[in-house]
Amino acid sequence: MIKVAIVGGTGYTGVELLRLLTVHPEVELTAITSRALAGTPVAELFPNLRGHCDLHFCEPDVEQLAAGDLVFFATPHGVAQAQVPELVRRGVRVIDLSADFRLKNIPLWEQWYGQRHAAPELAEKAVYGLPEVNRASIANAQLVACPGCYPTSIQLGWIPLLEAGLVKPETLIASAASGASGAGRQGKTELLLAENSDNFRAYAAAGHRHLPEIEQGLRRVQPAGADAPKVTFVPHLLPMVRGIHATLFAKLQSDCPAEELQLLFEARYKEEPFVDVMPAGSHPQTRSVRGTNMCRVSVMRPQDRDTVVVMSVIDNLAKGASAQAVQNMNIMFGLNETQGLESPALLP
């Protein structure tokens, strides 16, 4: 059994981790921290966990965290970079679900997040936790930086095209939409049901913090000599709880039949347990992956023109956060990669 603690368990990635870990056969949950709610039973905050989790939220305590095998950070950015160095020094392995260790370019991180980075040397050593690209490094990593939700869906959608150098890197356009759980469990007026039900809007179109992560990730898979990718990324807020749908556009470098695009995607993801290439002509639905670690993708070439359209869906809290974190844990600890992640999505 892996002894696991969670730092910051009161948000949506926290409760999603708990949902998955409380029934994971190889995990023993030892602690869930929350300064604000220390002493409160976890199942009082999250009634779905009644009967599944007897823990109370507790104050963070380095000794206790360091005594286990693995610590998940499900905290806002800024927290992990302050606390992880000590844990790493003590030899604990860490999976950080926040943005703290995703970017290798520290000045870029500091520019987008508006604060100094407290542990730049760790950011250097952290392994980016996208198993479809980085599986071997994840297996041996001490610190894994779990990808953001939009970056996961968008990278998985474009990776086959960029690896193959099939599209022009300066023509990348990502129009994506997320369920409201992606904005977190915060009491903000603009996230009320009364503000968002029967409503749809873009946000942060001028610049979203996931943009540099997306471009860094795509850059990494390009063949040598390729131009750096430039992505226009517009996120939208959906009147629903869970799910990300990324609609991706790119211009072909040269003619490539739709059938070959389909075969390329199928080949690239044939061995991947959590990427499902849909049959040609399909439109993946967010509900088909709800609550699961699956990413479903389709590729099309409308009107046989020179723009390739890729559609990619994930559950923002699952493959976009907590379930991918569990996938990384499985890889890090030599478990079956799909363990605890086998359930089909709830449909309808």
Q: Which residues are catalytic?
A: 149
CA–CA separation, 336 and 227 (whole Å): 37
Binder among 136, 228, 267, 347 for its own copies (CB under 8 A)? 347
289 touching its own copies, by CB under 8 A: yes
In this structure, what token pair is assigned to residue 327? 């996938």
Kindly indicate which of the ranges 27-35, 104-112, 129-137, 291-299 contains the residues binding its own copies, using the contact rule CB under 8 A: 291-299
3-state secondary structure of 268: helix
Residue 292, C-beta contacts closer than 8 angstroms, at least 6 positions apart: 315, 318, 319, 323, 341, 343, 344, 345
Q: Which of residues 155-174 bind its own copies (CB under 8 A)?
A: 171, 173
- In the complex, the smallest distance separating the C-beta of residue 179 from its own copies, rounded to whole angstroms, is 7
Binder among 142, 247, 253, 339 for its own copies (CB under 8 A)? 247
- In the complex, the smallest distance separating the C-beta of residue 311 from its own copies, rounded to whole angstroms, is 5
253 touching its own copies, by CB under 8 A: no
Kindly indicate which of the ranges 78-86, 104-112, 228-236, 328-336 contains the residues binding its own copies, using the contact rule CB under 8 A: 228-236
- In the complex, the smallest distance separating the C-beta of residue 271 from its own copies, rounded to whole angstroms, is 13
CA–CA separation, 229 and 231 (whole Å): 6
User: In what helix (H) or strand (E) does residue 94 lie, and over which residues does it extend?
Assistant: strand 93-96
Q: Are 313 and 153 in contact (CB under 8 A)?
A: yes
Cα 273 to Cα 265, 278, 292, 295: the distances in Å are 14, 14, 12, 10
228 touching its own copies, by CB under 8 A: no
Q: Which of residues 4-23 bind its own copies (CB under 8 A)?
A: 12, 15, 18-19, 22-23
Comparing C-alpha atoms, which of 71, 37, 79 is closest to residue 55? Answer: 37
- In the complex, the smallest distance separating the C-beta of residue 135 from its own copies, rounded to whole angstroms, is 19
Binder among 68, 217, 291, 320 for its own copies (CB under 8 A)? 291
Binder among 36, 89, 140, 193 for its own copies (CB under 8 A)? 193
Q: Are 344 and 315 in contact (CB under 8 A)?
A: no
Kindly indicate which of the ranges 27-35, 243-251, 260-268, 329-337 contains the residues binding its own copies, using the contact rule CB under 8 A: 243-251
Our measurement of the distance from residue 63's CA atom to the centroid of its chain's CA atoms, rounded to an integer in Å, reads 29
46 touching its own copies, by CB under 8 A: yes
Residue that is written with structure tokens 């206790």 in the block:
64
227 touching its own copies, by CB under 8 A: no
- In the complex, the smallest distance separating the C-beta of residue 215 from its own copies, rounded to whole angstroms, is 10
User: In what helix (H) or strand (E) does residue 248 lie, and over which residues does it extend?
Assistant: strand 244-251
Instruction: Please say which residue, 104 or 168, places its beta carbon nearer to its own copies.
Output: 168
Kindly indicate which of the ranges 30-38, 67-75, 131-139, 194-202 contains the residues binding its own copies, using the contact rule CB under 8 A: 194-202
Buried b / exposed e over 80-106, threshold 16 CB at 10 Å, is bbebbbebbeeebbbbbbbbbbbbbee
Instruction: Please say which residue, 295 or 332, places its beta carbon nearer to its own copies.
Output: 295
Q: Are 59 and 35 in contact (CB under 8 A)?
A: yes
- Strand-pairing partners, residue 39, are none
- In the complex, the smallest distance separating the C-beta of residue 305 from its own copies, rounded to whole angstroms, is 6
